């Protein structure tokens, strides 16, 4: 049985942005995720302690967003996709 491969395309701007050394994963406030779910995801996928994850959840709630991770563009894209599959609103900056 053949393996399906999903092709992904990038714009020139996205490729050039990928050349920057450090990128940030931004978690955005939304109206559908609970504090408990955000805290769970921060602990499970980003290895934050419960107090750290709670602090992030409150910062997102009060300020609208929070940088939760820094690294290469490729690394941030991996985590963005994981957290989006969990229903969180995230972007790479």
Positive/negative CA dihedral, 15, 70, 35, 29: negative
DSSP state of 37: H
Q: What CA–CA distance (Å, rounded) separates 4 from 21?
A: 32
Q: What pLDDT is attached to residue 3?
A: 65
Burial of 25 by CB count in 10 Å (0-12 exposed, 13-18 middle, 19+ buried)? buried
Whole-model pTM: value is 0.77
List domains and CATH numbers for the chain: 21-92 (3.30.1390.10)
Q: What pLDDT is attached to residue 7?
A: 76
Name the E strands within the chain: 23-28, 65-71, 89-92
Q: What pLDDT is attached to residue 8?
A: 75
Q: What pLDDT is attached to residue 5?
A: 67
Q: What CA–CA distance (Å, rounded) separates 6 from 80?
A: 17
Query: Mean pLDDT in each 10-residue stretch from start to end of the chain (93 residues)?
Result: 70 68 93 96 97 97 97 93 97 94
């Amino acid at each position: 049985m053949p393996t399906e491969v999903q092709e992904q395309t990038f714009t020139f701007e996205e490729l050039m942005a990928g050349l920057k050394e450090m990128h940030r994963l931004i978690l955005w406030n939304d109206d559908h995720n609970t504090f408990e779910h955000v805290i769970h995801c921060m602990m499970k996928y980003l290895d934050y302690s419960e107090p750290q994850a709670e602090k992030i959840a409150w910062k997102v709630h009060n300020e609208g967003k929070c940088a939760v991770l820094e690294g290469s563009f490729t690394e941030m894209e991996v985590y963005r996709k994981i957290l989006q599959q969990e229903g969180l609103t995230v972007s790479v900056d």
